[in-house]
Amino acid sequence: MLTIADLHKEVRVGFRRRKVEILRGVDLEVFHGDVFGLLGPNGAGKTTTVKTVVGLMRPTSGSVQLGVAGRQQIGYLPENPYFYDYLSGREFLELCGRLFGLGGAPRRERVQALLADVGLEGAGDLHLRKYSKGMLQRIGIAQALINDPQLVLLDEPMTGLDPVGRLEVKRIIARLRERGKTVLFNSHILADVAELCTRIAIMADGRVLWQGPVADALAESPEGLEAFFMKVVER
Which segments of the chain belong to CATH 3.40.50.300?
1-68+152-235
Query: CA–CA separation, 38 vs 57, rounded Å?
Result: 18
> pLDDT, tens digit, for every residue of 133-163?
889 999 999 999 999 999 999 998 887 788 8
> pLDDT, tens digit, for every residue of 173-219?
999 999 999 999 998 888 888 889 999 999 999 999 999 999 999 99
User: Under CATH, which number does the domain 1-68+152-235 receive?
Assistant: 3.40.50.300
> pLDDT, tens digit, for every residue of 103-133?
889 999 999 999 998 989 999 999 999 999 8
Q: Which residues of 148-187 are buried (b: 16+ CB within 10 A; e: fewer)?
A: ebbbbbbbbbbeebeeebbebbbebbeebbeeebbbbbbb
Query: CA–CA separation, 201 vs 218, rounded Å?
Result: 13
